[in-house]
Structure 1
Amino acid sequence: MKTDLEALVLRHTRRVPVPDGPAGDGAGMARRLDAALMEAGFKLSGELLAALSRLDERTVVSLAVRTLATVRGMVGDHVRHNSYFISFPDRVPDTFEFWMDCVRATFSDAADLEKAEAALSYGALDLLTLATYGDYQHTYEQMLAVHDELIASARDRVAVLHLGRDVDAEARALYLALGGSATPLNEDDARDLAVLAAHCVHGPQPEAIPVREIRAVINRARVEAGGEPLLDTVTDVLRLACALGDGDVTLQEPTRFPAFPRRLRRVLLGALDAVIAGSPAKLADVGVHRERWKRLGERLHPHEYPRFPRAADAFAVARGDKSAPTADARIEALLAAGDVHGALDLLATMPGRLFRALDRLLRLPLLPAEQEAVLAAAERTAKDVSARVLLSVRDHLDNRADGVGEREKRGKRGGKGTYRVFVNRRGRAWTTPETREAIPAPVRERLAVLLDAEVARRLPVPGRILVDPDMLDVALPLSGRAAAAGLGVLPRGTRSRVEGEVLRFFVYWKEHRSRTDYDLSALMLGDGFTDPAWISYTNLRDGAGEHSGDITSAPDGASEFINMRLGRFTRTYLAPQVNIYSGEGFDQVEESFFGFMTRDLAQAGRPFEPRTVRMKSDLRGPGRVALPMVFQRREDGAWTALWLHLYLQGNPLYNQVEGNRVTVTALLRAFADRRYLTVAHLVDLMAGRGAEVVRWDGASEAGGDGASEAGGDGASEAEASGGDGRQVLYLGLERPDGLPDGTVVITPENLRDLIPS
């Protein structure tokens, strides 16, 4: 258990919990660990190296083995990445010539001739029937032997690992941070929270748990430990039941409830009865998830517990035997009757719902007095709305321009109209044409001022903010699926710089029970998202890049790569995607992940080199096509990445880049138009309240000055800290060495902590 917690802490915080151990001379082993970590793109901080050097060598060896295993898993180096073409990216053949070589090899071997002739009897030749197609033709060791060693580059990734406290203290701190998050967690973080909650159930608890899905995870740990759950709505009870049944606490997917033991049935029914007793009006919320309540009632047998009559009422509402109109139904009835003021009075008791309904309310044919009433209600209740909702509405308003400027911009790009983009909590995306009436500019501006003022009021105001400029364009993670789990992953909507002469995508998968074929492909588009071309198993080479070859099954794991020389790329957009051709889905395989590396042309090396990996994310989502990100070449020749984290439904079988290019192009066009709130927005709000913003250049890692004013000279560490005891906030993609003591550090791993409650 301690080992699992240690790895979990390292993944989330980049801190290594140092165990208690006898003092000794571990300096040599600590340096060897540092050297081994460098091969994977990591290194020890000076403080961590010094702490390990003071420990007994055996303690350091044991820690080194665990740490290396964890970081290799983080970067994807825990598996062997072979390529079909042994010399990839060199000597990749022409697609047609390669297929004909496979045909000749098959028909020249008597053992394969009968199988091939049977395939031809259908009038076409299936590639999967060819003897040499789809399976590795060499061992991993043979592949390594034909590749030169990677030449080190100053642009290779180096992530610093920092000194942590003992594992229990680090686990408690991480539990409190995840449990008190103001934004929903992704699925992987929620699973980690469940592990931490079970470990920390008897210790300090988060002061507040604003996200209901997080509360359900913590409640499960409390109930399983014999404690009382924290519940104040009937939906909290439903989420707890889903958690206890290993189901979906977000209520997006149906849960197959188990036969709960009698103790858990008493806990759930008693909690439900108490919630309704405290506020009978909450009974109406049962109707929102009527079918789930009916399924749960079949497992809880409320008729066997007459001492919980109000719980029985909840299931009567679910069956339709008892009336309890939902708040939404009452609001709809009032609006249908033209009673805007009545609807506002009801919505004012549910501030979050009022703010989510603002767009709709302001598009109604309102009289001036009614429009003013809507805005006044928003101003009165903003203080009672979570910052995440306020920021989400602010983000929404930024994408509700009056249309004139948008039409001009679309005309320059050759666009055909504005589209709305929808992404659910699991990353499933779709678009629809924008048909809504515009919100008048003065109304949008008034709401924007209100939202910014309320969010700014809740933000901390440090004396000084040290900012890595690359962090400013990172989008705020306002939803649970804004980013997948992994290394170097940034939230959906982030635009980040891409440096290097070569961009190399990779996918790895290992099938669970049945033969599974994933295909890595890249769609290439010109200005205006026109002139499509692609690299895939059906087009192995393009002027700018090469495909490593098609692997059609992965009982022991398989990898595919696409290598792109950016200097030869003539189009504007490059969108890698992973298509499930056949077999198990992303949620069904034993393991699957996608990522990309950047290299200089002279670096050589193996197809997969861990220290050149810039991003590696797990593929876990619905649908049969994964669309992680899109790369864009700007007019000045520089490259940026737009992070998407999307899953398309696709077809049950035989998905190909050629078949989904129209859908993918429509999504890319919609996302390229969309604006996201970024870290820069919150920095501006804090600066407006008096915080001093300092640009951090990272030079302190080499012992030099660590911060500089934007456009100015470098500042000393004392100057960076303010020198007067004021709180310092650091915002960056990685935590560097050399930060002032006591600095609050925000990186993408804990960016949620920047969003106030």
Structure 2
Amino acid sequence: MRNTIYLRRNRKLIVHPGHSRLPLTYMATAMKNIEYLGFTFSKELMEVLQTLSIEMFTELYHQLAKDLKSIVGANVIFKPMYPDFPKQVMLASTAELYINAMCHYLTFQLPEHVALDRFPLLDQVDLEVIDLGSSEDFDRVIRNLIEAKGSISESDREDIEWVISTSDDLSTVLPDEIPMKENVGFVIGALLKYEKANIKHIAKYMKTATDVLRLAVALSDGDVSLATNTKFRKFKRPERRLLLELLEQCGNRVEDMLRYKNRWIRLGEILHPAEYKSKYNGCKEAFDILRNNKPFETFGGRVEHALRMQDTSLAADLLKNRAGEFARRLDHLLRINEDFSPVVEKFAAIAMNVSTPVLLQVMAHFSHRQERHDMRTFFPKGNVAKAVAIPNTLPDIEGSACETIVQTCKNTLISRFAKLPSLGDVYVDVRLRQYVMPFSQRSASKALRTIVRGSRIEMAAGDTIRFFLWWKEGNVNGKHTGRVDIDLSAVMYDEHWQYVEHISYTNLRSNKYNAAHSGDITSAPFGACEFIDLDIPSIVKYGGRYVVASLNSFTEQPYCDLPECFAGWMMRKYPNSGEIFEPSTVMDRIDIAADTRIAIPVILDLVKREIIWCDLALQKHPHFYNNIEGNQKGMVLMGQAMTSLIKPNLYDLFMLHAVARGRIVEDADSAQTVFAVSEGITPFDISRIMAEFIA
């Protein structure tokens, strides 16, 4: 399992040298087989593998092949309705496509087609290298996840929990401090679950009442982001005492608990602090105030009163004691008073106390504050990846104020980063401007290459992009899903987001563009798949620019209730060569497992030849039929929002580190530290970036 996690996250394997000499035929056969999946071994890994016995190598290889197939999606059988897609769909008559579809809808049987021999794959692919790793490096990967300055994904949490459950010594993965509060609740919950913690061990991580609330939520298998309510389970007496002891040590208890008043009242009914007559007096007092609505003046209440009175001086003076809150309210303070100088000066005085993630977001916000955009886009906190776009009605702010704030943030960050170890000569790839900084990954799906929502990836060589979808119906948690019909669709728009065409089960091919759908399959007891081919030059030639790829659960099951569902895309130069699903050409594969019925994995910008990473849910309850026509308005809005998104980017982050910690060079080959798209520290090293560079 450790190598399964390590391979998925870092493309590395831990292999201990043996004392044998592996026959070269075994090595060559294994490498040829994984080449079909798009991978190969590094020289260092080959050297160690050659010291293994045949039995040891065979065991390692079988697990490796299984893991690699799962990573790219080759662990299932792809059997589309038209086995000679796309040629077969493009050549069939409209009547034939219609009759085949109607027969399938009535009988759920696929039309009988004898697959013709296909030419071997003509595309040349760049193989991804699997390198030799180490136990120390694996522990660092897990430690980086725990130390992340932002929220982590469900997949990240699963990996951490496995390590906690199986490791006897956690000293190499548990840091002295866990910066992200959600991670505190989850990690401590896992330590308690596997009986690897006591109050002395975990008390240092628990600093506020909300930390304790998150722990109670984690122990109840709830949402530690607190975006949704959790039904607390009945805690055992030792667990109740632990939670009360942790809460008793927290300062500013009542104000913190009032933020989640109703949840605390429900939790208090389970903890029963009144049962302990001579203990937990602070907890008893706090619960008494909450339950009986006793008056209690809070810091937030004082700040809100000052803002209502438009007394920015008083508000700023209050907020100076809470630097992070000051930074988050900075735009509001500047909007309600034309004399911005006192606010800007007070912010400069406390900037060194603001966390790095908040400073980076403030810097990015005010860098673009004077630009006029039609929409503002937010990603609400929670486990489902949703985006909210609202009209941009923010009034203007004095440009000099924005410039001063940006420079204050830069100076503070450079000073902070300068205290970190030297990076030597540093190369920073300018293409990193296209990649968004990772601050929140809680709703990110497991993928072949996970990056941050809103980032733009250059398309590989090839004129055809092929989307694929695979899903299965069956039993989940003892309950059968019933018939499951997931539909793969692609909608094309021009540069002004005016609709031009769509490819879906209602329109298997385009009359104008070279685009085709492999056929609508409406039941998947043994698994089912759909494909869409889009020829980029033909779409651009006739004015198309953006393509929104979407998955729609026509039968209304949320994806989290399916045994398996994933999607992805390939770049193909010769779409009629090779198999329809060629693992080595897969650019990305993403699990679709959120509590939603519509997913938008990516948006394509065909003019710039960029893939915009979305990993979004559109809406939970679509209008009328759950198909592409019924969701046009929402898709356009999400498309416009994602293509105009302004977020902090990795180029700016790494340039700050380069200025503070090294000397910038123009050539990657001469650099000691490389920040780039495909070498050195890349946008896909999310956990490392969150732990080591948003520091």
Q: Secondary structure at the match of 2:496?
A: helix
Q: How big is each residue's C-alpha offset from its partner over 1:330-381, in whole Å with a ceiling of 9 and x where there is no partner?
A: 21122223432332222122111111111111111x252xx22221222122
**Equivalent residues in 2 for 1:6-25, closer than 5 Å:** 6-19=3-16, 21-25=18-22
- Note the C-alpha offset of 1:303: 2.4
**Equivalent residues in 2 for 1:131-142, closer than 5 Å:** 131=107, 134-137=108-111
Taking the aligned partners of 2:444 and 2:222, their CA distance within structure 1 comes to: 21
**Which shows bigger deviation, 439-448 or 329-338?**
329-338
Would you say 1:531 and 2:499 are equivalent positions?
yes
**Equivalent residues in 2 for 1:213-252, closer than 5 Å:** 213-223=182-192, 224-228=195-199, 229=202, 230-252=205-227
Taking the aligned partners of 1:326 and 1:627, their CA distance within structure 2 comes to: 42
Q: How big is each residue's C-alpha offset from its partner over 1:203-256, in whole Å with a ceiling of 9 and x where there is no partner?
A: 232132110111112211333324222200000000011111111111112212
Percentage of identical aligned residues: 28
Change (3 A) 1:433 1:489: same
Q: How big is each residue's C-alpha offset from its partner over 1:677-726, in whole Å with a ceiling of 9 and x where there is no partner?
A: 2221123323434734456xxxxxxxxxxxx46xxxxx5xxxx25xxxxx
* 1:270 aligned residue (245, 250, 253): 245
Q: Show the counterpart of 1:752.
A: 690
**Equivalent residues in 2 for 1:321-720, closer than 5 Å:** 321-364=293-336, 366=337, 368=339, 371-403=340-372, 418-425=374-381, 426-459=384-417, 460=420, 461-467=422-428, 470-481=431-442, 483-499=444-460, 500-511=462-473, 512=476, 513-514=480-481, 515-542=483-510, 543-569=513-539, 570=542, 571-601=544-574, 604-634=577-607, 638-651=608-621, 654-689=625-660, 691-694=662-665, 708=667, 715=669, 720=670
**Which shows bigger deviation, 372-381 or 557-566?**
372-381
Aligned residues: 666
Q: Show the counterpart of 2:255.
A: 284
- Note the C-alpha offset of 1:20: 5.8
Q: Secondary structure at the match of 1:529?
A: coil
Change (3 A) 1:547 1:694: farther
Q: Show the counterpart of 2:273.
A: 302
Indicate conservation of the 8 Å contact 2:154/2:443, yes or no.
no
Taking the aligned partners of 1:666 and 1:188, their CA distance within structure 2 comes to: 29
- Note the C-alpha offset of 1:18: 0.8
Q: Secondary structure at the match of 1:59?
A: helix
Indicate conservation of the 8 Å contact 2:87/2:576, yes or no.
no
Q: How big is each residue's C-alpha offset from its partner over 1:572-630, in whole Å with a ceiling of 9 and x where there is no partner?
A: 11111111111421222122222110011266122211110111111233432211221
AA partner of residue 384 (structure 1): N
* 1:66 aligned residue (60, 63, 66): 63
- Note the C-alpha offset of 1:21: 4.3
Q: Secondary structure at the match of 1:507?
A: strand
* 1:180 aligned residue (133, 141, 147): 147
Change (3 A) 1:745 1:332: closer
Taking the aligned partners of 2:682 and 2:537, their CA distance within structure 1 comes to: 36
Taking the aligned partners of 1:501 and 1:664, their CA distance within structure 2 comes to: 25
Q: How big is each residue's C-alpha offset from its partner over 1:140-197, in whole Å with a ceiling of 9 and x where there is no partner?
A: xx75x643332241xx24211110124xx34422221111112221222122222223
Q: Show the counterpart of 1:110.
A: none
Indicate conservation of the 8 Å contact 1:95/1:538, yes or no.
no
- Note the C-alpha offset of 1:44: 0.7
Q: Secondary structure at the match of 2:8?
A: helix
Q: Show the counterpart of 2:230.
A: 255
Q: Show the counterpart of 1:725.
A: none
CA RMSD in angstroms comes to 2.5
Relative to the length of structure 1, the TM-score reads 0.83
Relative to the length of structure 2, the TM-score reads 0.90
- Note the C-alpha offset of 1:91: 1.5
Indicate conservation of the 8 Å contact 2:425/2:664, yes or no.
yes
Would you say 1:38 and 2:35 are equivalent positions?
yes
Indicate conservation of the 8 Å contact 2:40/2:127, yes or no.
yes
**Is there any run of 5+ residues in structure 2 with no aligned partner, and where?**
none
**Which shows bigger deviation, 255-264 or 321-330?**
321-330
Taking the aligned partners of 2:109 and 2:352, their CA distance within structure 1 comes to: 61
Taking the aligned partners of 1:431 and 1:376, their CA distance within structure 2 comes to: 32
Indicate conservation of the 8 Å contact 2:427/2:674, yes or no.
yes
**Which shows bigger deviation, 334-343 or 462-471?**
462-471
Indicate conservation of the 8 Å contact 2:428/2:651, yes or no.
no
Taking the aligned partners of 2:629 and 2:550, their CA distance within structure 1 comes to: 12
Segments ≥4 residues shifted beyond 6 Å: 743-746
Taking the aligned partners of 2:457 and 2:663, their CA distance within structure 1 comes to: 24
AA partner of residue 627 (structure 1): I
Change (3 A) 1:33 1:138: farther
**Equivalent residues in 2 for 1:79-228, closer than 5 Å:** 79-92=76-89, 97-98=95-96, 100-102=98-100, 128=105, 130-131=106-107, 134-137=108-111, 146-153=117-124, 156-166=125-135, 169-200=136-167, 202-204=170-172, 205-223=174-192, 224-228=195-199
- Note the C-alpha offset of 1:326: 3.9
AA partner of residue 540 (structure 1): L
- Note the C-alpha offset of 1:734: 4.4
Change (3 A) 1:27 1:182: farther
**Is there any run of 5+ residues in structure 1 with no aligned partner, and where?**
107-126, 407-417, 696-707, 710-714, 722-727, 736-742
AA partner of residue 303 (structure 2): I
Q: Secondary structure at the match of 1:562?
A: strand
Q: Secondary structure at the match of 2:516?
A: strand
Taking the aligned partners of 2:304 and 2:229, their CA distance within structure 1 comes to: 26
